[in-house]
Chains A and B, each alone.
Chain A
């Protein structure tokens, strides 16, 4: 093979690759990736555990949001993709108070009525390397005092009555996340199986 042919072929190949990647680059430029739903977005209380089944059952009427007293239930818009018009709760903005009105009013089986101890939206998880009492930089107890379920959900450590410890009864309503004064929110709502893993998505 002659050197000229080789150089020509290399140049043509490079040009082809560049030209082919142009639409991709343009597409990335014009439509950046839709923001993936972060783990902080919870389904309302009483929701079916399987999220695909929840989306199948939800008719997108918005009634759960329309009766919510703290107005914490929001709805996915275009960024939700297939979950568009289905409800979510972001406890960092506004948390659920477990009043149960959304479960009562839902016309489908997406939200079914249950006592609030049986609700399963997730479980709170405390980052003990950040939380003020756990790193001995102050006393707080905001999460314990706001909890609607009391000491079956979150309680202080026995030998230090300022360090909060999440108990098995936590249903993940997120009120503790809403009131937490620490800027990086050492308390988060995670899936129940993640509770012992210290891994926050900040």
Chain B
């Protein structure tokens, strides 16, 4: 048997998963920090330091300590970064979720161009990177992945969690029904069942307005659904935003692919994949969110990024694995 080792992928791809966790935590911490900054700004705008309660004074001092080196006018300048992943502003540049633009278009049955423009950057990135938002930015993903780890922990200590599988196309149905209902009722309903929008909103309500709103209960139910019924079930089967990104990322340019010469069929990639995809048999499809967890876990560095518009068809068993060796030996014997 001729030993032919494939080309090893660029070594930094293995560490992208850490970068992804840094990105997820940064987004989540920003969502917690921004409401505090807003509260601090209201105190500054009211010139109210002397009238604050002791705990509010503490908040004021801490916020002042961090922002004083950056700005002399916190009430105005700290408005530069506001909002959540649903819709926000970043140094005067407005960015909105494509689902927000779609839902609003459906509800108003018309196009409002500024909102559509603010969704262009996410749409463009999704066309190139596919469903990357779900893996790299979404604040709900942060909690859902921790939830997955919690389920694994419960499994280990003897409380097996169910891992049912449903049809992944269910979420396209949710998206379609959401658009139709938004058009019928004239209200952007998706905002109420879309976890990242709920998370951003509820953290703001809880910190700045003194209590959770209507969405917190719903989000806890999705966590329980993921824990008790299906792993990452909401993202896989129900999320309307995930459905929209999957459709947009159908012909994405940046894809993870298996190098069949280096693969040893260990199937760790299938076990780690949050979305229940099949990297071992080259089954990535439009659902892959380029989260790179499979690249990080691969013991033989057999997964890498390729710039292609389509997945490769199934390349068969990995060349370092038992099946391939047996097949080639029997082929030699015959």
Contacts and interface: CB of A to CB of B under 8 A. Distances in A.
A61 B83 contact: yes
Contacts of B89: 63, 105, 107
Interface residues of B, number: 44
Contacts of A78: 213-214
A60 interface: yes
Interface in B16-46: 34-35, 38-39, 41-42, 45-46
A60 B88 contact: no
Contacts of B45: 69-70
A56 B187 contact: yes
Contacts of A69: 41-42, 45-46, 75
Interface string A83-114: 11100000000000000010001011100000
B204 interface: yes
Nearest to A97: B45
A59 interface: yes
Contact of A65 (B88, B107, B208, B214): B208
Contacts, number: 122
Contacts of A60: 86, 188, 191-192, 197, 201
Nearest to A74: B209
B38 A66 contact: yes
Contacts of B209: 65, 71, 74-75
Contacts of A57: 104, 107-108, 112
B218 to A, nearest CB: 11
Interface string A63-83: 101111111001101100011
Given A61-B83, A67-B82, A75-B205, A56 B107 contact: yes
B155 interface: no
Nearest to A60: B191
Given A58-B188, A63-B87, A71-B42, A85 B82 contact: no
26 contacts: A56-B108, A56-B186, A59-B87, A59-B96, A59-B103, A59-B191, A61-B84, A61-B200, A62-B205, A63-B82, A63-B87, A67-B38, A69-B45, A75-B213, A77-B214, A78-B214, A82-B185, A84-B213, A85-B192, A85-B201, A85-B214, A101-B79, A105-B83, A107-B118, A108-B114, A109-B115
